[in-house]
Amino acid sequence: MSATETTNQTTTNEAFNSLFVQELARQIRAQDSYGFYRNWADELVIKPYIVSKEAKRKISVEGDVDPVTKGRILSFYRAIAARIEQETGLLSQVVIDLSHEGFGWVLVFSGRLLLVARTLRDAQRFGFDSLEKLTAEADKLVEKAIDLAQRYPEVGKL
C-alpha cells in the first residue's frame, strides 16, 4: 500500500466516524420498514450518496426526480435536522419542494427561523464526489444553522 493510499484510508475512516455520517445511516435505517439494510454495514447503506462526476453525467435530468432519489435527499436533510437538534435542542421540520424538472427548495426550520435554505438543481443527480465532500458539506450546513440558532434564539422558538 502506498503512502497516499494509507492517507486516503485514514481520511475515509475519519469521515465514517463523523457524527453526521452515523446520523445519516440512522435516518436511512429509520425508513427501512422491511429490514432490507438490517445486516448491511453503514458504509454500504451510505454508498448511494457517493456519485462520481462521470456517473452524474449519465443520469438524465429530463422528467421527474425518482422516488428513491427523493427519499435520499429527504434522509440527508433529516440527518442535518437531527444534528442541529443534538447541538441546539431545537426541533426542526424539513420541507422539500421539487418541481418536475429537478429544481426546487430544501428548507429546514424551527419556529420562524430558517436554519437551512437551499435551492436544488438537477436533483436527479443528487450525490457527492466522496464521503469527505459529503461530511464537509453537511458539517458546513450544521455549523451555519447552529450559528443562526444562537444569534436568533427567540425566532427559533416562536
- Catalog residues that contact its own copies under the rule CB under 8 A: 93, 95-97, 105, 107, 109, 111-115, 117, 148, 152, 155, 158
Of the pair 25, 148, the CB lying nearest its own copies is at 148
- Closest separation in Å from C-beta 79 to its own copies: 18
DSSP states along 31-55: T-TT-TTTTS-HHHHHGGGB--HHH
Residue 3 or 68: the one with the smaller Cβ distance to its own copies is 68
H helices of the chain, in order, are 3-16, 19-30, 42-46, 53-58, 67-88, 131-151, 153-156
- Give the whole-angstrom CA distance, residue 105 versus residue 17: 29
**94 vs 131 by CB, closer to its own copies:** 94
Smallest separation, CB 18 to its own copies (Å): 26
- Minimum CB separation from its own copies for residue 140, in Å? 16
Q: Which residue has the cell 416562536?
A: 158
